[in-house]
Amino acid sequence: MTDVNLTLVLTSAGLIGCGVYLLLERSLSRVLVGLLMMGNGVSLAFLVAGGPGGAAPITVEGVDEPMSDPLPQAMVLTAIVIMLATTSFVLAMAYRSWQLTGHDDVQDDVEDAMIRRMAATDATSEAFSAASDDPDEVEESSDFAEGELVDGRGDEPGGGQDLGADVAAEHEREETRP
Amino acid sequence: MVLRWGRRAFLPVAAVVLAGTVWVATLGPGVLDGEVRSESRSWVPSIGVDLAFRLGALQWVLALIVLGIGAIVLAYCTWYFHDDSTGVPRFAGVLTAFVAAMLGLVLSDDLLLTYVFWELTTVFSFLLVGHDPTRRSSRQAAIQALLVTTLGGLALLVGAIMLGQAAGTHRISEILADPPAGTLVTVAVHLLLVGAISKSALLPFHFWLPAAMAAPTPVSAYLHAASMVKAGVFLVALLAPAFAGVPGWRSVLLVLGLATMLVGGVRAMVQHDLKLLLAYGTVSQLGFMVLVLGVGTRSAMLAGLALLLAHALFKACLFLTVGLIDRLTGTRDLRRLTGLGRRMPVVAVSAALAAASMAGVPPLLGYVAKESVFVALVDVAREGDGTGIPSYAGWLLLAGVVLGSILTAAYSARFVWGAFADREVAEELTVRPVPWGFAAGPVLLAALSLVLGFAGHRLTELLGLEAGLFPEGVHEAELSLWHGVGLPLGATVVALLVGALLFVVREPLLRWQLSFTHQLSLERSYRWSMRSLDRTAVEVTGVVQRGSAAAYLALILLVVVLVPGSALLEATDVVHVVAWQTPVQAGIGVVVLVAAVMATRSRRRLRAVLLAGATGYGTALLFVLHGAPDLALTQVLVETLTVVVVVLALRRLPEYFTDRPLSRRRYLRMALGLGVAASVAGFLLVSASSRTAEPVSATLPELAYEYGGGHNIVNVILVDVRAWDTLGEISVLVAAATGVASLIFLDARGTGIRRVHEIPYPAGVRKEPRVAGKRAWLPAPRTLAPENRSIIFEVITRLIFHSIVVLSIYLLLAGHNDPGGGFAAGMVTGLALVLRYLAGGRYELDEAAPVDAGKLIGGGLAVAALAAVVPLMLGGAVLQSAIVDIPIPLLGKLHVVTSVFFDVGVYLVVVGLVLDLLRALGSQIDRQIVRDLREAAREEAAP
């Protein structure tokens, strides 16, 4: 059982809450500000998780007062630096987006919109259409393509075309029969 | 080999397989004496999978079929393909691999190994059926066969695992010797049966086999007649002795087998394509075999195995004949074929023999097998023969099999008639002469069908070994040409006569059958289910994937709030709080919160960023109060750099955020923000209050000093204890720097570094002649417009720059014992560079750091990686550090811990990152602004 520092908890939660609100915005620079504040909030949350504060975690000979927990601090240090990297990258993205489109709003994904349209119109996916059976398919009754011959010179007269059409027509009859 | 020699290379490949056949054949005498050979190698001991193989009588027969027919089919390919047929080398490879996989399947003595080979045959069959990827039908058939058999294969896997668990071993021979029982086993066995049924194309999976006829005919002859489809039959035969008594075994196999036999026979009667006729015939025969083996008596087992052998011989022969006809005439449609009986008599006779064997005409092997089936079924119908099948069901079964045999006889006749008879055709048929080697395969197989018909006694001996696993039946089981006058002989006579009759009335029968409606087509239901699967995928994707990042985030956060957040409500009683440790904390907290809310409400970019920066500085103060000086130092430095960099980038973006109408959504966002905040607070309170154990870091101070050689525990953690993390972290920095550079520069990092002395003075500046050196103390006169300059700022920056760099180096070296370290030092150097840039512009920056940021970053990463790896070479662990004291005259001794080199790497990476950010977001944007201004001016001047 440990007593928890309420101030740190509230500050951390407040920062994260504001961060979330901004994170859900469309404008990348607001998202960025949100990320910054969330990052700070999370750093504080780590402090809380590390237990009560104390002296700096630097050993000094002869002094033996309670120290703050160094492990979460090391993690937060890493997190701070990573936040810097993230910030720079999002910033560059916002700038590039502004260069290209004149604003820095996050756009919806075009592919996803296409899938949504497909769902609305009851269409099948391209992959399915490519793999599915087509009832109008002409059935073949030879392994060998038309004209392809024993000696490979292609001197066979005629071919399977009439037959193919015939079989297809029959197939169709079968399909349309009640 | 096939690549070089073309299709002739099939012959040596076939010879290899033939050698295997001969070798297996030489084991025959031993097998006949009841000898069982087994081999096993440990493969995956952790899940008990061994490479276990076993050769008993059943396996011996199947291995002979697999290898023998494999050799014949491979040789046959030599004549089947053209020299210029596409994909022949691949085909040869896959077919040979298939032979191996099939052999493995029949010899395997481990359930999981069986599954592996089972799936291998499925995959190879997919490749073989889809031999011609340019044909749509062949692609579809390949996918269909793959899906159906893989589905069955999965059932098989689950069944195999369950059975293995129940028996405590995966070794098939051990399971069969001591079969477990119980509900679990029943379910497992039925799952295995699902696998067998799908592989052997029984109802309701039969549709894939006719579709798979899109494969080249040698494949059909081998996979779809002799070997792969037999895998299911083989599995049934293998398991029958132990599990025929499992509830449902007989009813499933008998009903499905009989239904398949009849459906296949009926469908075979209406086909015009000889290959499809055979395919449906195969479906029918597979049903027949499974039925007979499913009965589970000694005589039925014997008959079933004989049937399996007979079928492999005659059906492979017939398929090869069809391939030959197709190859030599260009068609397999029986309405276009005529007069082949006269033109290729040898082939015609051999095919007729094989078809007769299929129909069950004495004295061929097919007759011997079928006759003994009738004997076995009559026994079952009369007396049950120990199966518990009621008498009426037995008679019904017999009647069904007789009906199926009638159909078999009829379509066999139809095949021979269709392939070889003379008839009126619309077009003249061109027939090429038959090369002897092409016909050799089918003729040999037909001859075997004939010869083995007379070898009933030897076959009884051989197959009886396997059948002997069943209790003795009513009669002594025996394969022979003559079982005496009785009901079985009557059945054969009836089957042949009525079959002949059906053949005679084929024309009206065909018309009648074509008028018959197929209301329920399983092929169609397969298509329907594939389509609905696709539709479901599209719908689900459409609903779930809205394409908006905010929506995804909101969903994730909502789950965070609802699921773990709501659980917190249960745990409120453990919370213990103190308001603060010092009241100052509360004051800072309030300031931070106010700044946060204002940043959230702000409509101006710059203001929002500055306020966010304020929360960052507040956080740094809280770090200090908490006893975390390293954090505070880094936080302040990072926050400063962030603000500078953000401002640099934002100077070109519009002052206000994009104006958009306030929507009701913002209340939702607000609610979500509050919810997340409340959950976070709850988590922190509950988790931190309920802490009971001593923190792991309690021993860290001593460890840090003893092993890490430093007093600053946080730093020791970073560069020693958790150095892997740090290595990953600087890699992230490298990635981010690269990303920023590529987003801003778009191609390479800038145009290189230009030194000030290369730049001419602008017109307004008068240069005092000076003698020494190329360097000017303040370069800005050449590079900045006078109105942009602040001389005081420039001079002060120039004065303190070196002091700051020295300070950063101190921080770097001292970091091990006092606040500091690679990050902080790097940030300090970086900030010094920022100052130079802000004071003197981009040329000043290049002057201060005339190096490419990329090289700096890469060098830093390399140093850190070296520091990580070198201890490994010296016999230590990765990233292990050692402590060295170097005496330095006059100054005392330098206490060096090797992990400082790692920290140097970190330092270099951080400096490189800052430099990169400045060059990208500072210098490059400067250039872009200048360019835009110039262009605007030009445009204005133009008109």
**What is the rounded distance in angstroms from the CA atom of residue B675 to the CA atom of residue B561?**
6
Task: Tell me if A95 is assigned to some domain.
Answer: yes
DSSP B311-350: HHHHHHHHHHHHHHHHHHHS--BTTT--SHHHH-HHHHHH
From first CA to last CA, the distance across chain A in angstroms is 77
Answer for the pair B857, B751: CB distance below 8 angstroms, yes or no. no
What is the average pLDDT across B232-253? 87
Contact (CB<8Å) A30/B608 = yes
Per-residue pLDDT at B617 exceeds 90: yes
CA B355 to mean position of chain CA atoms: 43
Question: The dihedral of CA B155, B161, B166, B171: what is its sign?
Answer: positive
Total length of chain B = 943
Half-sphere exposure in the Cβ direction for B567 (13 Å, CA): 7
Amino acid letter, residue B38: S
Contact A78 B733 (CB under 8 A): no
Eight-class DSSP state of A78 = H
Which residues in B lie closer than 8 A to residue A48 (C-beta atoms)? 684, 688
Tens digits of per-residue pLDDT, B190-217?
Answer: 999 999 999 888 888 888 888 888 888 8
Residue B53, classed as helix, strand or coil, is: strand
Nearest CA in chain A to B584: A7
> What is the domain count for chain B?
2
CA distances from B101 to A94, B68, B156, B176, B627 (A): 56, 15, 17, 23, 67
| Same domain assignment for residues A31 and A80 | yes
Among chain B residues, the shortest Cα distance to A32 is held by B609
Which residues 11-30 of B are in CB contact (within 8 Å) with A?
none
Q: Are residues A84 and A145 in the same domain?
A: no
Residue A160 has pLDDT above 70, yes or no: no
CA B390, CA B301: separation in Å to the nearest integer?
Answer: 19
More confident residue, B686 or B408: B408
- Is the predicted pLDDT of residue B275 greater than 60, yes or no? yes
Point out the residue among A13, A83, A142 whose CB comes nearest to the CB of B330. Answer: A142
Left (φ > 0), alpha (ψ -120 to 50) or beta: where does B889 sit? beta
Most confident of the following: B467-476, B726-735, B841-850: B726-735
pLDDT of residue B1: 60
In chain A, residues with a C-beta closer than 8 Å to the C-beta of B657 are 27, 29-30
CB contact under 8 A, B622 and A11: yes
In chain B, which among 751-790 make CB contacts under 8 A with chain A?
none
pLDDT given at position B45: 79
Tell whether omega for the bond before B363 is within 30 degrees of 0, i.e. cis.
yes
Domain count, chain A: 2
What residues 581-610 of chain B have any CB closer than 8 A to a CB of chain A? 581, 585-586, 588-589, 592-593, 596-597, 599-600, 605, 608-609
**Is A121 inside a domain boundary?**
no
pLDDT at B538 over 80: no
Interface of B with A in 697-756 (CB under 8 A): 697, 700-701, 704-705, 711-714, 717-718, 721-722, 725-726, 729, 732-733, 735-737, 739-740, 743-744
Domain assignment of residue A93, yes or no: yes
The confidence score (pLDDT) of residue B203 equals 80
Domain boundary among B530, B553, B575: B530
For residues B567 and B359, what is the distance between their CA atoms, to the nearest angstrom? Answer: 72
pLDDT at residue B927 is higher than 80: yes
Contact B576 A4 (CB under 8 A): yes
* Residue B265 located in a structural domain: no
Look at B6-15, B239-248, B374-383, B792-801 and tell me which has the smallest mean pLDDT.
Answer: B6-15
Task: Give pLDDT tens digits for A2-31.
Answer: 678 888 889 999 999 999 988 888 888 888
Average pLDDT of the residues in B477-493: 76
Answer whether B677 sits within 8 Å of A174, measured CB to CB: no
Q: Residue A50 belongs to a domain with what CATH number?
A: 1.10.287.3510
Tell whether A140 is within 8 A of chain B (Cβ).
Answer: yes
pLDDT of residue B119: 92
Same domain, yes or no: A16 and A98: yes
Residue B157 has pLDDT above 90, yes or no: yes
Residue-level pLDDT at B225:
81
Q: What's residue A147's pLDDT?
A: 46
DSSP assigned state of B612: H
Q: Return d(Cα A169, Cα A177) in angstroms, integer.
A: 12
The answer to whether position A97 is within a domain reads yes
| Mutation for A interface: B320, B713, B811, B818, most A CBs within 10 A | B713
Residue where one domain finishes, among candidates B478, B507, B530? B530
Instruction: Give B861-915 pLDDT, tens digit per residue.
Output: 898 888 887 777 776 666 566 666 666 665 555 566 777 788 888 899 999 999 8
- Predicted confidence (pLDDT) per residue in B763-786, tens digit: 555 555 555 555 566 766 666 777
Residues of chain A with Cβ-Cβ distance to B332 below 8 Å are 141-142
Asked if residue B53 belongs to a domain, the reply is no
Calculate mean pLDDT across residues B13-40.
Answer: 83
- Chain B, 503-522: which have a CB under 8 Å from a chain A CB? 517-518
* pLDDT value of position A13: 92
Burial class (CB in 10 A: 0-12, 13-18, 19+), B363: middle
Contact B282, B224 (CB under 8 A): yes
Question: In whole angstroms, what is the distance from residue A132 CA to residue B134 CA?
Answer: 15
Q: How confident is the model at residue B284 (pLDDT cuts 50, 70, 90)?
A: very high
Domain annotation covers residue A31: yes
Q: Does the residue A32 lie in any domain?
A: yes
pTM score: 0.64
70-89 in chain B: CB under 8 A from chain A: 82-84
Q: How far is CA B217 from CA A144, B73, B316, B766, in A?
A: 10, 10, 10, 93
B547: DSSP letter: S
Name the residue facing A89 among B580, B676, B740 (closest C-beta): B740
A44 and A95 share one domain: yes
Whether A134 is in a domain gets the answer: yes
Q: Find chain B residues with C-beta within 8 A of A106's C-beta.
A: 548-550
Q: What is the pLDDT of residues A41-61, one digit of tens each?
A: 999 998 888 777 777 777 776
Choose among B102, B108, B116: nearest CA to B55: B108
DSSP letter string, B207-269? THHHHGGGS-HHHHHIIIIISTTHHHHHHHHHHHHHHTTSTTHHHHHHHHHHHHHHHHHHHHT
Distance in angstroms (rounded) separating the CA atoms of residues B622 and B642: 19
Q: Given CB atoms, is A24 within the 8 Å cutoff of chain B?
A: yes
Is B884 within the bounds of a domain? yes
Q: Residues A90, A151: one domain?
A: no
Instruction: For B548-598, write each residue's pLDDT tens digit.
Output: 777 888 888 888 888 877 777 777 677 777 777 788 888 888 999 999 988
Asked if B554 lies within 8 A of A44 by C-beta distance, the reply is no
Helices and strands: H and E segment counts in chain A: 6, 1
CB contact under 8 A, B685 and A4: yes
Do residues A22 and A99 share a domain? yes
Q: Between residues 42 and 61 of chain A, which touch chain B (CB distance below 8 Å)?
A: 43-45, 47-60
Q: Does B696 touch chain A (CB under 8 A)?
A: yes
Q: Which of B695, B711, B743 is the closest to A69 by Cβ?
A: B695
Residues A140 and A76 in one domain: no
DSSP annotation string for B560-604: HHHHHHHHHGGGGGG--EES-SSHHHHHHHHHHHHHHHHHHH--B
CA dihedral B238, B239, B242, B246 (to 10 degrees): -160
What pLDDT score does B898 carry?
Answer: 72
Least confident of B225-239, B351-365, B511-525: B511-525
Res A167 pLDDT > 50: no
Least confident segment among B204-213, B383-392, B672-681, B700-709: B700-709
Q: What is the pLDDT of residues A136-150, one digit of tens each?
A: 444 455 666 544 444
Domain assignment present for B303: yes
> Which pLDDT band holds residue B509 (cuts at 50, 70, 90)?
confident
Residue B285 lies in a domain: yes
> Is residue B809 one of the residues assigned to a domain?
yes
Tell me which chain A residues have a C-beta less than 8 angstroms from the C-beta of B718: 74, 77-78
Question: Domain range for residue B524?
Answer: 271-530
**Ordered DSSP codes for B141-197:** HHHHHHHHHHHHHHHHHHHHHHHHHHHT--BHHHHHHS---SHHHHHHHHHHHHHHH
Is residue A152 predicted with pLDDT exceeding 50?
A: no
Q: Which of B472, B435, B80, B401 is nearest to B259 (CA)?
A: B401
The verdict on A95 and A138 lying in the same domain is no
Contacts of A151 (CB under 8 A, 6+ apart): B432
Instruction: Tell whether A84 is covered by a domain.
Output: yes
- CB contact under 8 Å between B634 and A80, yes or no, is yes
Q: Which two tokens mark B365? A: 């092997």
> Given an 8 Å threshold on Cβ–Cβ distance, is B627 in contact with A67?
yes
- Whether A160 has its CB under 8 Å from any CB of chain B: the answer is yes
Please indicate if any CB of chain B lies within 8 Å of the CB of A82.
Answer: yes
Q: What pLDDT digit, counting tens, does each position of B314-335 carry?
A: 999 999 999 888 888 888 888 8
What's the confidence (pLDDT) of residue A153? 37
User: Which B positions 360-419 lie with beta carbon below 8 A of chain A?
Assistant: none
Reported as a pLDDT band with limits 50, 70 and 90, residue A168 is: very low
Tokens describing residue A21: 């609100």
pLDDT value at position B636?
Answer: 92
Taking an 8 Å cut-off on Cβ atoms, the answer to whether B736 and A140 are in contact is: no
Whole-angstrom distance, CA of residue B348 vs CA of residue B443:
9
Q: Find the helix packing angle between B298-329 and B274-295, rounded to 10°.
A: 170
Cβ-defined contact of A13 to B646 (cutoff 8 Å): no
- Tell me how far apart the alpha carbons of residues B900 and B9 are, in angstroms, rounded to a whole number: 66
Mean pLDDT over the full length of chain B? 82
Query: Same domain, yes or no, for A86 and A146?
Result: no
* Inter-chain residue contact A115 with B549, CB threshold 8 Å: no
Q: Are residues A98 and A151 in the same domain?
A: no
Torsion angles phi and psi, residue B53, rounded to 5? -125, 150
Q: Does B281 touch chain A (CB under 8 A)?
A: no
Please report the pLDDT score of residue B120 as a whole number. Answer: 92
Q: What chain B residue is nearest to A22 in terms of C-alpha separation?
A: B600
Specify if B341 maps to a domain. yes
Q: What is the pLDDT of residue B223?
A: 85
Contact with chain B for residue A79, Cβ under 8 A = no
Look at residue B665 and tell me whether its pLDDT is greater than 50. Answer: yes
Tell me which chain A residue has its CA closest to the CA of residue B826: A81
Angle at A54 between CA A48 and CA A59, to 5 degrees: 120
Please report the pLDDT score of residue B577 as a whole number.
Answer: 75
Mutate to test the interface with B, among A23, A141, A146 (most CBs of B within 10 A): A141
- Residue B920 included in any domain: yes
CA distance B330 to B321: 13
Find out whether the peptide bond into B204 is cis, omega within 30 degrees of 0. Answer: yes
Listed in sequence order, the residues at least 6 apart from B45 whose beta carbon sits closer than 8 Å to its beta carbon are none
What is the structure's pLDDT at B565?
75
A102 & A39 share domain = yes
- pLDDT one-digit tens code per residue, B245-261: 888 888 889 899 999 99
Q: For A63-109, how does the pLDDT look when each residue is reduced to its tens digit (9 = 90+)? A: 667 777 888 888 888 888 889 889 999 888 888 888 888 777 777 77
Domain assignment of residue A100, given as a range: 6-56+67-107
Q: Are B441 and B72 in contact (CB under 8 A)?
A: yes
User: Which SS3 state, helix, strand or coil, does residue B908 take?
Assistant: helix
B163 vs B170: CA distance, rounded Å: 8
Residue B243 CB partners (closer than 8 Å, separation 6+): B179, B185, B189, B249
Q: A131 vs B219, B367, B535, CA distance in Å? A: 22, 43, 14
* Chain B residue nearest residue A67, CA to CA: B627
Q: A-chain residues within 8 Å CB-CB of B546? A: 108, 112, 116
Q: What is the pLDDT of residue A162?
A: 39
A168 shares a domain with A80: no
Query: Is residue A35 within 8 angstroms of chain B, CB to CB?
Result: no
What's the complex ipTM? 0.71
B678 and A CB contact within 8 Å: yes
Quote the pLDDT of residue B519. 47
Set of chain B residues whose Cβ sits within 8 Å of the Cβ of A49? 684, 687-688
Backbone phi, psi, residue B702, to 5°: -65, -45
